[in-house]
Amino acid sequence: MELLENRIRKDGIVKAGNVLKVDSFLNHQIDIELLNEIGKEFKRIFGNEGITKILTVEASGIAIAAIVAQYFNVPVVFAKKSQSINLDGSVYQTKIESFTHKRVYDVIVSKKYLSPDDRILVVDDFLANGCAADGLIDIIKESGATLVGVGIIIEKGFQDGGKRLRERGVRVESLAIVDSMNDETGEITFRH
Amino acid sequence: MELLENRIRKDGIVKAGNVLKVDSFLNHQIDIELLNEIGKEFKRIFGNEGITKILTVEASGIAIAAIVAQYFNVPVVFAKKSQSINLDGSVYQTKIESFTHKRVYDVIVSKKYLSPDDRILVVDDFLANGCAADGLIDIIKESGATLVGVGIIIEKGFQDGGKRLRERGVRVESLAIVDSMNDETGEITFRH
């Protein structure tokens, strides 16, 4: 998606340790107009799949999911980071390791909001090692719902999450795939 | 807002300890169509105030802020819950006590995304004791930006946050104000 790649080139900041900061338009300050263009693009890609729900994980996926959901006329469900294991059986739960924060979160989704009839599109801002997507896919499987695909804004193509998910047969559609980036020059190379 | 009150009556669940669960349409599963009606209502209320940014705090405020922002054609900034105090001076920070989770969070906003020229609308799902609003208002003051008002979806009128903020001269507009609720009968009384 050219508009997105141009925006990442213009406003993304490459930091040491393969960190790409997009705080100014995607996950701290959020450019809602850009998200609407992203919503239209996901609608173009997944529009004929009978999607019934958009699933993401807090916090940075939520704005994306909310705007994207408008193009599908469906609700959003976001997985919550949990302080403690829930023992009452009313939730699906899994563990997600954050690349950015170097820690493991328990995340939960209430059983009330995913059902075997649901056809789910997972959306998130980044795909790096794929742990967040893995966790959400685990939850979808446990619920009996159908995973239609995973819509990602920025995939780090030099980490193995996307490759691994695609090899498992998951449809992953990333609007920008970064093949390499250089924190000294700031240069970012996209896959086409 | 009648549509909202009806929805709270229909799908809200009153629990002991003055807890009102709106997980099925507002802060776990999210009804995006309802949020669009809420966005239109905030636009009607605050539309002539020259708002330049919508500010909220993760996580449940983010979807609301994203949808509301579309009606103002402005970006969203969300305050992040921080693991650790940031000492490099690049962020505004404050403490927010969560009524739901009974704990205190450090929240931060990058100094890059609030400026003295900004006219800010704070939005959030709930106003109870007002701690989240207090924290965001502290950050706005520190940045030199102008606080235009606070837009709340559900105010717990029997807790003192709204009263206290209004007495300080803050314009608080709540789309539904719950005056009382009964966890035995499930009855909810709204202020009109």
Could you write out the DSSP letters of every residue in B43-71?
A: HHHHTTS---EEEEETTTHHHHHHHHHHH
pTM: 0.96
Q: What residues in B contact A69, CB-CB < 8 Å?
A: 30, 32
Cβ neighbours of residue A5 closer than 8 Å, sequence gap 6 or more: A176, A190
Closest to B56 (Cα-Cα) out of A53, A4, A57, A62: A62
Query: Looking at the complex, does the CB of residue B28 fall below 8 Å from at least one CB of chain A?
Result: yes
Q: Which of A32, A81, A109 to mutate to test the interface with B (most CBs of B within 10 A)?
A: A32
CB A41 within 8 A of CB A1: yes
Mean pLDDT of B125-142: 96
3-state secondary structure of A103: strand
DSSP run (H or E) holding B37: helix B32-46
Tokens of A109: 């989704």
CA–CA gap between residue A90 and residue B170 (Å, rounded) = 40
Query: What CATH number belongs to B35-178?
Result: 3.40.50.2020
**Residues A106 and A81: beta-carbon distance below 8 Å:** yes
Residue B128 Cα, gap to closest chain A Cα (Å): 21
Token pair belonging to A6: 């141009």
Structure tokens given for B96: 């927010």
Interface test with B, best of A29, A40, A114, A124 (most B CBs within 10 A): A29
- Is the confidence at residue B3, as pLDDT, over 80? yes
Residue from B71, B77, B35 nearest B53 by CA: B77
Could you read off the pLDDT of A120-163 as tens digits, one per residue? 999 999 999 999 999 999 999 999 999 999 999 999 999 999 99
CA angle B65, B58, A91 (to 5 degrees): 110
B192 touches chain A (CB under 8 A): no
In the prediction, which pLDDT does A82 show? 81
> What's the pLDDT score for residue A172?
98
Distance CA(B107)–CA(B101), nearest Å, equals 15
Contact between A34 and A7 (Cβ < 8 Å): yes
Rounded to the nearest angstrom, the gap between the alpha carbon of residue A142 and the centroid of all alpha carbons in its chain is 19
Considering only the C-alpha atoms of chain B, give the largest distance between any 2 of them, rounded to a whole number of Å.
52
* Residue A168 CB-half CA count within 13 A: 15
Tell me whether residues B32 and A101 touch, CB distance under 8 A: no
The percent of chain A in helix, strand and coil, each rounded to the nearest 5, is: 30, 35, 35
> Looking at this predicted complex, what is its ipTM?
0.95
A170 touches chain B (CB under 8 A): no
Identity (one letter) of the amino acid at B112?
K
d(CA A180, nearest CA chain B) in Å: 27
Report percent pLDDT > 70 for chain A.
95
Structure confidence at residue B72 (pLDDT): 98
Contact B31 A67 (CB under 8 A): no
Nearest to A177 by CA among A126, A135, A123: A126
Contact between B63 and A59 using a beta-carbon 8 Å cutoff: no
Alpha helices, DSSP H only, in chain A?
2-11, 32-46, 61-72, 131-143, 161-167
The domain limits of chain A are 35-179
Three-state DSSP state, A187: coil
Average the pLDDT over each of A2-11, A131-140, B88-97 and give the range with the smallest value.
Answer: B88-97
Name the CATH architecture for the domain at A35-179.
Answer: 3-Layer(aba) Sandwich (3.40)
> What pLDDT, in 10s, does the model give residues A71-109?
999 999 999 988 666 666 799 999 998 766 778 889 999
Which of B18-32, B97-111, B135-149 is the least confident region?
A: B97-111
Q: Indicate if the pLDDT at residue B63 is higher than 90.
A: yes
Distances (CA, A) of B132 to A7, A148, B12, B126: 32, 37, 22, 9
Out of A59, A63, A77, name the one closest to residue B76 (CB): A63
At B116 the pLDDT is: 98
